[in-house]
Amino acid sequence: MGEKLWGGRFKKKLDKEIFEFTKSISFDKRLAFYDIEGSIAHAKMLGKSGIISQKEKELLVEGLKEVKKEILKIKFENEEDIHTLVINLLRKRVGDVADKLHIGRSRNDQVVLDLRLYCRNEVKEIIGRIRKLQISLLERAKKLKALTIPFYTHLKNAQCIIFAHQFLAYLQMLERDKERLKESLERIDIMPLGSGAGRGSTLPLDRFFLAKELGFSCVSENSLDAVSDRDFVIEVLSNLSILGMHLSRICEDLILFSSDEIGFIEGDDAHFTGSSILPHKKNPDPLELIRGYSGKIYGDLISVLVTMKGLPLSYNRDMQLDKPPLFDSVEIIKRSISVLGKIISKIKVNEERLKKASAKEFLFSTDLAEFLVTKGYSWQKAHTLVGKLILESEEKKKPIREMSDKHLKKIIPELNKEIISELLEPLKSVRRIKTYGGSSPAEVTRQLAIWERRLKRD
Ligand code: ARG
C-alpha cells in the first residue's frame, strides 16, 4: 500500500481487502496525463496567488514534468488512485514540498477536472475518426454512381436507387453524430477546479487563471454542482450509443449485402474470417462484432445513469464507477470506427448481382403508377390498376416485359410494350426522379460534391 492522501484521524491501518475493494488505480491510471496537466496548472495558480512561494511552485512544476515522463513505466498496483500516485511520485522527486500541491484541492474536484480533460480530448479524437470513416464512405460512394440496387422497406424490395445513395445516407447519419459530439464539447468545456470538496475554499484560488491555463472557456458556476455533475459523462455515452447504433445499422446492411442470398458485396480476404468446420465460408465477423459491441455501449450508458440516479449531492464514491464504462465505450467506438472504415475501403461490388436485383419488375410498380398519374389518374385508381397488372403477371406467370400490347392495354389502356420497356429500366427509372434529396443521378452527383467539399473543410 503506497502512502495515502489521508490517514491522520485513523488509529488503524486500512484493511487490505477493503483497500483492494476501494481502489481505482487499475482503471483511473488512464487519467495519468490529465491529472498531471491539471496539477501543473494548480501549482502555477498556487504560486501566482501567493499561496506558495515561487520557488515551491517551480519545484512542483518541474517535478510534475519529470513524473509525466516516468509515470507510464511505473507499476501502479499499490496505490489507491491516480491522484495519490502522482503525489507520491512527486514526493520521491521533490520531497515534502509535494504535499503543498494539494492545497485548496480535493479529489472531488480533481477527478472531475481529469474526466473533463479526458472527455474533451477523446471526443475530439472520435470526431476526427468519424470524419475519416465518412471519407472512406464517400470514396466508396463515388465508385457506385452508375450502379443501381433495390432499396428495402420491411426487408422487402421497394424501388431502384443508385447504390451511392445508400452510402450518402450513411454519411448523413454520421454527420449528425459529429454534430452531437461537437455540441457536447460546449458542456464539457467547464473548469471545475477550485470547487474543493464542494463549497469552494477560504484560500484565494484563482479559478479563471486555472481555466485559462487548461484551455477551458469558462469555470463552473456552482461548486456543489461542479463536484456532483456527471451529466457530461452521460452525454458522451448517449452520443456514443447513438453513434454505435448507426455503426450497427451500417454493419447490418453490409452483412445482409454480403449474404449468399443478396450478394451485392464481398469483403476483402484480409477482413472477413473463416469457419473451423465449413471450408467454403467467408464470414463478416468483424461487422457482427461492431453490431454486437453497440449493445455494450448501451449497457455502459445505462450503468452510469443508474449509478447516478439515486445519489444525494454532492460527491459519493459510487461516482468512481463512471470510469470503466466511459473508458470502455470510448475504446470500443474508436476501434469500431477504424475497423469499419478499413472494411469499407476494400469492399468489392458484384455488379452482376446488382444488375439482376435491379431488373426485378415489381421494383417499378410505383414508376408505372406515377406514369398513370401524369395521364390524369387519381393515385388510388393508378395504384389499383398497377396492382391488377402485377396480379395478372403473377397468376399467368408472365413477366410484364413479355406481355403483348393487347394484353397490356386490356388491363391499362395507356400502356404498351415500348412504354413498359422505358418504365421498367433501372437507370431510366432513377433518372426520372425529380425531387431534391432523392436518388436521381443528378442529385446524387450534387450530394457527392457537397460531401467532398464539406469533408475537406472540416
Ligand atoms: N477515485 C475517485 C473517483 O474516481 C476519486 C477519489 C475521490 N475520493 C474521495 N474519497 N473523495 O471518483
Give domain status of residue 1, yes or no: no
Nearest to 268 by CA among 247, 248, 254, 278: 254
From the CA of 28, give the closest atom in ligand 1.
Answer: 4
Closest C-alpha residue for ligand 1 atom 7: 107
pLDDT digits (tens, 9 = 90+) for 106-115: 999 999 999 9
Q: Taken in order 298, 300, 305, 310, is the CA torsion positive or negative?
A: positive
**CATH number of the domain that residue 444 is part of:** 1.10.40.30
Nearest to 115 by CA among 67, 165, 141, 81: 81
CA distance 354 to 145: 13
**One domain for residues 175 and 269:** yes
Q: pLDDT band at residue 205, thresholds of 50, 70 and 90?
A: very high
Q: Dihedrals φ, ψ of 312, to 5°?
A: -70, 155
Q: Is the pLDDT of residue 338 over 70?
A: yes
From the CA of 319, give the closest atom in ligand 1.
Answer: 12
- DSSP class per residue in 185-206: HHHH-EE-TT-TTTT--SS---
**One domain for residues 132 and 201:** yes
Pocket test for ligand 1, best of 22, 111, 316 (most atoms within 8 A of CB): 111
- Distance (angstroms) between ligand 1 centre and the Cα of 425 equals 66
**One domain for residues 341 and 383:** no
Q: pLDDT band at residue 350, thresholds of 50, 70 and 90?
A: very high
- Indicate which residues carry an active-site annotation: 154, 275
List the beta bridge partners of residue 397. Answer: none
- Distance (angstroms) between ligand 1 centre and the Cα of 125 equals 26
Give domain status of residue 9, yes or no: no
| C-alpha distances in Å from residue 132, one per residue of 259, 345, 446 | 26, 11, 21
What per-residue confidence (pLDDT) applies to 200? 98
Q: What does the CA dihedral 248, 252, 255, 260 come to, rounded to 10 degrees?
A: 170
Closest C-alpha residue for ligand 1 atom 10: 317
- Distance (angstroms) between ligand 1 centre and the Cα of 320 equals 6
Pocket test for ligand 1, best of 118, 193, 313, 320 (most atoms within 8 A of CB): 320
**One domain for residues 245 and 275:** yes
From the CA of 6, give the closest atom in ligand 1.
Answer: 10
What per-residue confidence (pLDDT) applies to 253? 98
What per-residue confidence (pLDDT) applies to 457? 86
Vertex 357: Cα angle to 389 and 449 (nearest 5): 110
- Distance (angstroms) between ligand 1 centre and the Cα of 316 equals 8
What per-residue confidence (pLDDT) applies to 178? 98
Q: Cβ distance 176 to 159 under 8 Å?
A: no
Give domain status of residue 127, yes or no: yes
**One domain for residues 429 and 317:** no
Give domain status of residue 6, yes or no: no
Give domain status of residue 10, yes or no: no
pLDDT digits (tens, 9 = 90+) for 168-199: 999 999 999 999 999 999 999 999 999 999 99
**One domain for residues 279 and 389:** no
Q: Cβ distance 114 to 27 under 8 Å?
A: no
Q: Is the pLDDT of residue 434 over 60?
A: yes
**One domain for residues 303 and 366:** no
pLDDT digits (tens, 9 = 90+) for 245-290: 999 999 999 999 999 999 999 999 988 888 888 888 889 999 999 9
**One domain for residues 196 and 248:** yes
Q: What share of the chain in percent tops pLDDT 90?
A: 92
Closest C-alpha residue for ligand 1 atom 12: 320
From the CA of 323, give the closest atom in ligand 1.
Answer: 4
- Read off the pTM: 0.95
pLDDT digits (tens, 9 = 90+) for 362-399: 999 999 999 999 999 999 999 999 999 999 999 999 99
Place of cell 392495354: 409
Give domain status of residue 131, yes or no: yes
- Distance (angstroms) between ligand 1 centre and the Cα of 359 equals 63
Ligand 1 proximal residues by C-beta, below 6 Å: 24, 28, 81, 107-108, 111, 315, 317, 319-320
Give domain status of residue 155, yes or no: no
What per-residue confidence (pLDDT) applies to 5? 79
Q: pLDDT band at residue 405, thresholds of 50, 70 and 90?
A: very high
Owning domain of residue 94: 16-103
Pocket test for ligand 1, best of 108, 230, 316 (most atoms within 8 A of CB): 108
**One domain for residues 387 and 422:** yes
Average pLDDT, the chain: 96
Give domain status of residue 158, yes or no: no
Q: pLDDT band at residue 1, thresholds of 50, 70 and 90?
A: low
From the CA of 111, give the closest atom in ligand 1.
Answer: 5
**CATH number of the domain that residue 30 is part of:** 1.10.275.10
**One domain for residues 128 and 90:** no
Closest C-alpha residue for ligand 1 atom 3: 320
- Distance (angstroms) between ligand 1 centre and the Cα of 80 equals 9
What DSSP designation does 104 have? Answer: T
**CATH number of the domain that residue 134 is part of:** 1.20.200.10
**One domain for residues 93 and 114:** no
**Domain finish residue from 304, 331, 356:** 356
Number of domains in the chain: 3
**One domain for residues 322 and 227:** yes
